[in-house]
């Protein structure tokens, strides 16, 4: 019994040491990104197997673009759509988290109250609204899997804190815009601008930038619906908000 307890304590200590070392590893990688442009993210690599054509060729469109070569209109549109308080929060926007929690709770309550509601023979699931900031989205895409667990969320918080500590807001936004998914195999602002509008990211108009920003929550879905009325209506809303956000 005593030997088993000792072995358990040893295992627990090793787990804690490993966890601490892992945090140092993540923080070190983030600090390195202050001067080195990451070639890809964990999310991009996880998607690679899905974007191979029938000939077995990887359909990957991505070109690293410096901040000064990305149109300010796109930066403003993305901030207006995804994280309007980007320049003022420290990685987590608690008001947005609380608002998202309330919306998700109401959506779940409606489904629970109408358990017989169906669509095409299936129960309609509640629509989940996210409250993640751009920094949190970058943390998740850079280094983490898409799992929805408490451990993964805790790790995401550590990386988010490291990003805000070691990188400037402008650097965080630049990394985000160069690696965010904008369609099947389309990553980053430059690839998106050329894929959808046949022009470089530096030449995007306000309307084009707003259209791209609206796609971000569901890029592969909206890629298939370029004439969606929602895209047009939402883009108009984003355009009206673009001048109200501050750029880093």
Residue pLDDT, tens place only, 26-63: 788 888 888 899 988 888 888 877 777 655 667 788 99
Considering only 46-55, 64-73, 180-189, which range has the smallest mean pLDDT? Answer: 46-55
Considering only 1-15, 74-88, 217-231, 232-246, which range has the smallest mean pLDDT? Answer: 1-15
User: Does residue 56 or residue 13 have the better pLDDT?
Assistant: 13
| pLDDT greater than 90 at residue 134 | yes
| pLDDT greater than 60 at residue 229 | yes
Check if the beta carbon of residue 57 is closer than 8 Å to that of residue 219.
no
Q: Which two tokens stand for residue 227?
A: 């004439």
Q: In this predicted structure, what is the pLDDT of residue 160?
A: 92
Do residues 104 and 181 both lie within one domain? no
Do residues 121 and 152 both lie within one domain? no
CB atoms within 10 A of CB 157: 14
Do residues 102 and 141 both lie within one domain? no
**CATH classification at residue 176:** 1.10.3810.10
Q: Which residues contact 85 (CB under 8 A, 6 or more apart)?
A: 93, 95, 96, 133
Do residues 20 and 98 both lie within one domain? no
Do residues 77 and 98 both lie within one domain? no
Do residues 194 and 233 both lie within one domain? yes
Number of domains, the chain = 2
Q: Give me the chain's average pLDDT, please.
A: 81
Rounding to the nearest 10 degrees, give the CA dihedral for residues 223, 226, 228, 231: 80
Do residues 120 and 178 both lie within one domain? no
Check if the beta carbon of residue 210 is closer than 8 Å to that of residue 75.
no
Q: What is the largest CA-CA distance in the chain?
A: 71
Q: In this predicted structure, what is the pLDDT of residue 74?
A: 97
Residue pLDDT, tens place only, 144-156: 766 667 777 788 8
Range of the domain at 204: 2-91+136-244
Q: Which residues contact 159 (CB under 8 A, 6 or more apart)?
A: 26, 30, 139, 142, 143, 144
* Of 72, 107, 130, the domain-final residue: 130
**DSSP bridge pairs for 122:** 119
Q: In this predicted structure, what is the pLDDT of residue 5?
A: 74
Which of 185, 225, 177, 183 is CA-nearest to residue 201? 177
Burial class (CB in 10 A: 0-12, 13-18, 19+), 148: exposed
User: Does residue 66 or residue 94 have the better pLDDT?
Assistant: 66
Do residues 159 and 232 both lie within one domain? yes
Instruction: Return d(Cα 134, Cα 77) in angstroms, integer.
Output: 13
Q: Which two tokens stand for residue 85?
A: 């308080």
**DSSP bridge pairs for 187:** 181
Burial class (CB in 10 A: 0-12, 13-18, 19+), 19: exposed
Contacts from 142-145 at CB under 8 Å and sequence distance 24+? 142/33, 142/38, 142/41, 142/42, 142/43, 142/175, 142/179, 143/26, 143/29, 143/41, 143/42, 144/42, 144/43, 145/42, 145/46
| pLDDT greater than 80 at residue 216 | yes
Do residues 98 and 75 both lie within one domain? no
Instruction: Return d(Cα 126, Cα 60) in angstroms, integer.
Output: 33
User: Does residue 207 or residue 45 have the better pLDDT?
Assistant: 207
């Amino acid at each position: 019994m005593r030997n088993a307890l000792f072995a358990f304590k040893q295992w627990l200590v090793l787990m804690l040491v490993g966890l601490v070392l892992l945090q140092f590893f993540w923080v070190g990688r983030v600090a390195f990104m202050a001067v080195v442009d990451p070639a890809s993210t964990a999310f991009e690599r996880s998607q690679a197997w899905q974007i191979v054509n029938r000939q077995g060729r990887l359909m990957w469109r991505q070109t690293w673009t410096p901040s000064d070569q990305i149109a300010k209109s796109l930066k403003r549109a993305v901030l207006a759509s995804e994280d309007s308080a980007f320049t003022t929060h420290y990685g987590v926007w608690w008001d947005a988290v609380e608002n998202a929690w309330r919306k998700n709770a109401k959506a779940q309550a409606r489904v629970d109250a109408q358990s017989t509601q169906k669509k095409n023979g299936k129960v309609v699931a509640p629509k989940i609204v996210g409250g993640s900031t751009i920094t949190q989205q970058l943390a998740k895409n850079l280094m983490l899997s898409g799992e929805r667990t408490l451990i993964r969320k805790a790790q995401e918080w550590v990386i988010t804190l490291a990003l805000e500590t070691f990188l400037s807001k402008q650097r965080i936004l630049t990394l985000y815009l160069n690696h965010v998914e904008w369609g099947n195999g389309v990553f980053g602002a430059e690839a998106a601008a050329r894929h959808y509008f046949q022009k470089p990211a530096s030449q995007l108009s306000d309307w084009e930038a707003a259209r791209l920003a609206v796609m971000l929550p569901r890029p592969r879905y909206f890629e298939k619906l370029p004439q969606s009325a929602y895209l047009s209506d939402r883009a108009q809303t984003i355009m009206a908000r673009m001048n109200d956000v501050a750029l880093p």
